[in-house]
Structure 1
Amino acid sequence: MEDFISRFITTTDGLQLHVRDYAPLSGGASRLPVICLPGLSRNSRDFHPFAERLSKDTTTPRRVVAIDYRGRGRSSRDPDPTHYNVGVECGDVLAICDALGIAHAIFVGTSRGGLILHIMATLQPERIAAAVLNDIGPEIEAEGLRDIRDYLSRQTAPDDFEAAADHLEAVHGTAFPALTRRDWLDMADAIYVEENGRLVADHDPALAVPLQAMDFSQPLPTLWPQFALLAQKPLLVVRGEYSKLFSAKTLARMKAQEPNIEITTARGQGHAPLLHQPGLFERVEAFLDDY
């Protein structure tokens, strides 16, 4: 038996969006729900261990909703790849919240998900009760974004999930010394899906198109004004110890600009940290328990 319910919501442009809805154990219905927003090419499966633990907590269980953006996981692919942008995806997240009757929630945004939260803070700040930014801020490093572009542009098709775990560890292992073999296998299960007898990444390959069109010789856009709005809410910022996308310098500037934000480091992890890892989960859960 699954620990969640799969729900499908139709967007205004006719796409079907999928979410995993983890119901809390008895007593958690009165607590604010947690909405989990994954990274650029990732999906709701990334949050499964995290969502399970939050929804099954014996003292403070709560509802957790993990989203597949358009073109990821079980959501429909968009025939227009220009729609794979944070503005459209923010609109999708708000539409999902409306469809599920969620007017006020805690949001956990990993990478792309955190950028979406910056936009949401300008459009519907009242929706956000508190937020966690997982290895993302208002300024990102070109080196890290180029790495993501290059990784997405290489289409890999491992023979099986063991081979997929091997591949992921070979590519990302130096940035994630804290992960075990079980973690790499879980990551492979979250990233890949079987299609016509082979494993493929569970996202629309067209996601790479906007990145391939970027001019990395020019400064990347920043979101400092939007961050100032988001930081008016209770905010925990997580940075991976070995992250190339989210620099320690940017984190320090965020803290200097908005001293009330909370910060923590995901030791032994790069971009983007797994929030269910020992030590980090407890830190995030303690933040959530205040709201």
Structure 2
Amino acid sequence: MSFLARLGSWLTEKPSYEMRQRRVQCVSAHGLHHMAYTEWGDPRNSKVLVCVHGLTRNGRDFDFLARALADEYRVVCPDIVGRGKSDWLANKADYGFPLYVADMVTLLARLDVEEVHWVGTSMGGLIGMLVASMPGNPIKRLVLNDVGPMITVESIRRIAEYVGNAPVFVDKAAAIAYIREVSAPFGPLTDAQWGHLTEYAIKPTDGGFSMIYDPDIAVPFRTTPLVANVDLWATYDAIQCPTMVIRGADSDLLLHETALEMASRGPKAKLAEIPGVGHAPMLLDDAQIGIVRQFLLADT
């Protein structure tokens, strides 16, 4: 092929950008720490999508969604501190939403863009709600994946039973079996999908493999009495950007009546329910990804 032919090919072909792994330095009341994140798509793209994971998960949960949307966005998937490749905190009492929100504001400043779209699963959705409720925030479209402003004490107790209590696994097969058991509400995933969710959720350790999150992220669950539902309606009502709520039809964390109320007040979220799934839809298959894509790109 001649040089001119190759040049023409380079100019007409759509560029393909590999995943990039980066870190940003953040601060807490007790010192500095690094938050890791993966980034997909054109690093020069001013359209940015931030995807934030659930309590014991990490940013690699969004690999499939990120690949599917990298043609439209620079997709940024952080590991919230204490998870994935991010640092573990020395002062375990710092694990909580005030720090998580502050870290995300630091990340948004690093990205150097005026606005972002946001997809948050469970904890990641709560962080998104908190940021989106603030005056002058940069979130212009918000997807809340199986989380809302009312969280039942029963679901919190269920989560508290396994957070920080994972055993050491003798091999990856044992790790997959454990994750399939505790994460059964994710729904009927394929073996390959369970393998992906396990691959980035564990790390080698003495005697086999352990979970890649700090067990002490469970400290708030152990020190805070679990006696009442969590009520964040005032936060939700302050959100002004277009919002979508995705609910697992069998979810015990986001009740159906809560989702319906979210559709009628505050930002009046668009509601999509995923049959056969509890907490939470993992956005791994084409159907679930399509719901997110259609909402985020509705006005583009």
Q: TM-score, normalised by structure 1?
A: 0.90
| Residues 20, 40 of structure 2: 8 Å contact kept | yes
Which of residues 225, 231, 234 in structure 1 aligns to 2:234? 225
Which of residues 24, 30, 34 in structure 2 aligns to 1:16? 34
Alpha-carbon offset, residue 177 of structure 1: 4.1
Equivalent residue letter for 2:166: Q
2:293 is matched with 285
Alpha-carbon offset, residue 189 of structure 1: 1.3
1:115 is matched with 126
- Percent identity for Structure 1 against Structure 2: 28
Partner of 1:244, secondary structure, is: coil
Equivalent residue letter for 2:91: D
Superposition pairs for residues 77-96 of structure 1, below 5 Å? 77-96=88-107
* Cα RMSD, aligned residues only: 2.1
Which of residues 233, 253, 275 in structure 2 aligns to 1:267? 275
2:13 is matched with none
Partner of 1:212, secondary structure, is: helix
Alpha-carbon offset, residue 147 of structure 1: 1.1
| Cα 1:176–1:74 shift into 2, 3 Å | closer
Q: Which runs of 4+ in 1 moved over 6 A?
A: none
Give the Cα–Cα distance (whole angstroms) in 2 for the partners of residues 157 and 37 of structure 1: 26
1:52 is matched with 67
Give the Cα–Cα distance (whole angstroms) in 2 for the partners of residues 37 and 161 of structure 1: 25
Stretches of structure 2 lacking an aligned partner (at least 5 in a row) = 1-15
Equivalent residue letter for 1:222: D
How many residues end up aligned between the 2 structures? Answer: 281
Give the Cα–Cα distance (whole angstroms) in 1 for the partners of residues 155 and 212 of structure 2: 21
Partner of 1:182, secondary structure, is: helix
2:3 is matched with none
| Residues 87, 119 of structure 1: 8 Å contact kept | no
| Cα 1:216–1:260 shift into 2, 3 Å | closer
Partner of 1:126, secondary structure, is: coil
Stretches of structure 1 lacking an aligned partner (at least 5 in a row) = none
1:70 is matched with 81
Q: Which moved more, 1:77-86 or 1:193-202?
A: 193-202
Which of residues 99, 103, 108 in structure 2 aligns to 1:97? 108
Alpha-carbon offset, residue 258 of structure 1: 4.2
Structure number, greater radius of gyration: 2
Are 1:136 and 2:144 matched, yes or no? no
Are 1:199 and 2:215 matched, yes or no? no
Partner of 1:279, secondary structure, is: helix
Give the Cα–Cα distance (whole angstroms) in 2 for the partners of residues 69 and 171 of structure 1: 20
